[in-house]
Structure 1
Amino acid sequence: MAVTIKDVAKLANVAPSTVSRVIANNSRISEKTKQKVREAMNQLGYHPNFIARSLANQSTQVLGLVLPGSADKFFQNPFFPTVLRGLSEGAHEKQYALQMTTGQSDEEIYDGIVQMVQGGRVDGVVLLYSKVEDKVMMYLRERGFPFVMIGKPFKYSEEITHVDNDNYRATKGATDYLLNLGHQRIAFIGGDLNLVVTVERLLGYEKSLRDAGIELVNEYVIHEEFLQEGGKEAVKELMQLAQPPTAMVVADDLMALGVLNTLHEMEISVPDDISIVSFNNVLLSEMSRPPLTSVDINIFDLGYQAAKSLIQKIEDPKDPIKRIIVPHEMVERFSCSQYKDQDH
């Protein structure tokens, strides 16, 4: 026969209602009592029925995740599995599960989130991106449904809890690093301009050049998808210019891998002929040839903090709006070198 709450209560010598409160992690129960009840649960092999619980207290213990695009592209980029591990750990600590919604188009993604929210399938939502124009964010905001964003909201940033890096400062730092090596013809390969992270990084790159008194060359700024193909397309375009760049800031390691492979095919040496600074510092950056100098944005922590903040918001609707900035640091490897004037 299945073990019940009453069996646990009897063994722990407490009331059944106390066992229920321990399962719900109620703060009014002392740690000593919680420990005693959990030991009894372990001894009897009792597992709480979360479905029955959620029906009783109108909570699902599930966080909804909204991806920025189709799932196949999502899993091609190591950024997302890493952010997912962080989300998973933050959710698991409070016994929440994760549910994803994906779609091939913005319309499908929007429909998926409406079904998720109106069907009462989730208690809150994490947006794994921040777009300049976003119907999903507007929908959640208008409904007053708990949500947090990974990335800085383009609008209402004072009213939305979000977890982000200082992308402006990080990219200014990456560009300054190349300028200090003597490079002046520095290109920027960014992602989709509808993503706020791209806008912020572009502004940091521009500010660095401006401070150094270097004129911005429009042809040196290219936007592609955060995929290997994006990097390939961008570098082909840049190297065909009359004055190609001697250095590049690439907004993503997977794109940078596409850049490296294409330069290798073109017999252009990194870092002898061209220097590259990338972003994300995923395993790829260590394994590439040469290993990439990359800005570590602590992807795991972005996910972990987002899950934690959302659960606080769900459990306490009066929880104040937070802006959590996860620190970044540059990891120097072997894809950059001092500028050598090829013309002399």
Structure 2
Amino acid sequence: MSVTIKDVAKLANVAPSTVSRVIANSPRISERTKKRVREAMEYLGYHPNFNARSLANKNTQAIGLVMPSSADKAFQNPFFPEVIRGISTKAHEKNFAIYMSTGQTEQEIYDGVVAMIHGRRVDGILLLYSRVGDRIISLLQEKKFPFSVIGKPSKGAEQITHVDNDNFKAGMEATDYLIQLGHERIAFVGGSLDLVVTIDRMLGYKKALGDADILYRDDYIVQEEFLKEGGREAIMGLMSLQTPPTALIVTDDLMSFGIMGSIDEMGLSVPEDISIVSFNNLMLGEFAKPPLTSIDIDIFKLGYQAAGCLLDQIENSDQEAKRVIVPHKLIKRQTCQRL
């Protein structure tokens, strides 16, 4: 049986109207009373329904976005503003608003999703990432709450609506391009192995090396955050090896910018000393020095399609799970050179 506002009032020894005023953060209620009521809400697991009063059909006309990390860190990478631009374009077409997770830690993000679901703050949830063993996906499946994912789910992908690139194929193509230029000492710089996108691109990289009879080396594999600082850390370690790589596959443009800056500080140059193929094809890459060779994954379309899939689920609860693959394309610029 669900917890009601009367249950909270009884435990906090206040009137139900007082609980309502605490939920609305009324200045007429003392901080001491607010604290007591909120503790009672937390103890009972009560989640206020912010929309039931104003929407008889319980349709909030809003979707929730869940970031892979705190928003302030995620927004350091231009991938997220661009994918959200795609999401918001589709949401606007359907007159839906966007509600974004704001937690600083994984636990806070998870708690925020719980509040979105139980408080009925949104009609569906869109995850902007796919992580191995993600308990948010398990929660959404358990609650049968509409959701879609940008990225391939690590388990049960055929039962989960998701939008992705063929990252295995993209990893192969990036590596093949460098092999065709004569490179054999090719390193892979990726994000966390908790992220499915890193795993798929690395598997494609391994497959391309194997097909070309090139030895796979553990010391040529580096995992860092998708930030400039992550790129700087990666290249320092790789270039200090006894046999450093002549080329890099970097799974994010922002990391590539950090790498290029560090290479320049070392007195080396791209592509004369080391070639780079990157991912995402951010606008900044075109204006880098030299302009960055990158795989365009059509970030805007990833967001637009994912939002469309989620809105289809909200409109039709019987909608079957979909898998949408957004095409990628290698954009050849000036960070690669024949060995």
TM-score, length-normalised on structure 2?
0.84
SS at match of 1:56: coil
Matches of 1:232 and 1:284, distance apart in 2: 18
Task: Indicate yes or no: 2:321 matched with 1:321.
Answer: yes
Structure 2 matches for 1:110-121, cutoff 5 A? 110-121=110-121
Report sequence identity in percent: 58
Matches of 2:110 and 2:68, distance apart in 1: 11
* Structure 2 CA distance for partners of 1:219 and 1:172, relative to 1, 3 Å: same
Residue 261 (structure 1) shift: 0.1
SS at match of 2:59: coil
Matches of 1:166 and 1:294, distance apart in 2: 15
Task: Indicate yes or no: 2:172 matched with 1:157.
Answer: no
Q: CA RMSD in A?
A: 1.1
Q: Which residue of 2 aligns with 1:187?
A: 187
Q: Which residue of 2 aligns with 1:338?
A: 338
TM-score, length-normalised on structure 1?
0.83
Q: Which residue of 1 aligns with 2:129?
A: 129
Task: Indicate yes or no: 2:92 matched with 1:92.
Answer: yes
Q: Which amino acid aligns with 2:211?
A: D
Matches of 1:235 and 1:98, distance apart in 2: 38
Q: Which amino acid aligns with 2:93?
A: E
Q: Which amino acid aligns with 1:131?
A: R
SS at match of 1:63: strand
- Aligned residues of 1:254 and 1:284 also touching (Cα < 8 A): no
Deviations 1:270-298 (A, max 9, x none): 01111000000011211211110000000
Matches of 2:114 and 2:320, distance apart in 1: 25
Q: Which residue of 1 aligns with 2:294?
A: 294
- Aligned residues of 1:54 and 1:61 also touching (Cα < 8 A): no
- Aligned residues of 1:163 and 1:305 also touching (Cα < 8 A): yes
Q: Which amino acid aligns with 1:254?
A: L
Deviations 1:213-271 (A, max 9, x none): 01101100000000000000000000000000000000000000000000000011101
Q: Which residue of 1 aligns with 2:143?
A: 143
Matches of 1:58 and 1:84, distance apart in 2: 25
SS at match of 2:178: helix
Q: Which residue of 2 aligns with 1:20?
A: none
Q: Which residue of 1 aligns with 2:5?
A: none
Task: Indicate yes or no: 2:73 matched with 1:73.
Answer: yes
Q: Which residue of 2 aligns with 1:59?
A: 59
Displaced runs of 4+ in structure 1, greater than 2 A? 51-54
Q: Which amino acid aligns with 2:244?
A: P
Q: Which amino acid aligns with 2:319?
A: D
Q: Which amino acid aligns with 1:164?
A: D
SS at match of 2:268: coil
Matches of 1:71 and 1:317, distance apart in 2: 30
Residue 56 (structure 1) shift: 2.1
Note the residue ranges of structure 1 that are not aligned, 5 or more in a row.
1-50, 340-344
Matches of 1:150 and 1:259, distance apart in 2: 26
Q: Which amino acid aligns with 1:96?
A: F
Matches of 1:300 and 1:54, distance apart in 2: 33
- Tell me how many residue pairs correspond in the alignment: 289
Residue 53 (structure 1) shift: 10
Residue 54 (structure 1) shift: 6.0
Deviations 1:2-30 (A, max 9, x none): xxxxxxxxxxxxxxxxxxxxxxxxxxxxx
